[in-house]
Amino acid sequence: MVLSPKNHPYTKYRSLTLEATFYKTSSVPNEQTIIYIHGGGLVYGQRDDLPEDYIQDFLEAGYHFLALDYPLAPETPLKDIYNETKKGLQWFTKEYRATLGITSSAFILFGRSAGAYLSLLLAKDPELPDPTKVISFYGYYSLSDYSFQKPNAHYKKYPVMPEKMIHKLIGTSPLAKGPLQTRYALYLYARQTGKWIEYLHATQEDRRDFSLTTDELQTLPPTFIAQSIDDQDVPYRIGKTLQASIPDSYFFSVKGLEHDFDRDPFIPEAKEAYRQVIDWLSK
pLDDT at 182: 87
- Pairing state of beta strands 33-37 and 107-112? parallel
Report H helices in 124-203: 163-168, 180-193, 196-199
pLDDT at 3: 83
- Residue 279 CA to residue 274 CA, distance in Å, equals 8
Q: Going from the first residue of the chain to its last (283 residues), give the mean pLDDT of each consecutive group of 10, the final group possibly shorter.
A: 89 98 92 97 98 97 97 98 98 98 97 98 97 98 94 93 91 95 94 96 94 97 98 98 98 98 97 98 93
Write down all domains in the chain, each with its CATH number in brackets.
6-281 (3.40.50.1820)
8-state DSSP, 126: T
pLDDT at 128: 98
Q: Are 11 and 91 in contact (CB under 8 A)?
A: yes
- Pairing state of beta strands 6-13 and 16-23? antiparallel
pLDDT at 160: 87
pTM, whole model, 2 decimals? 0.97
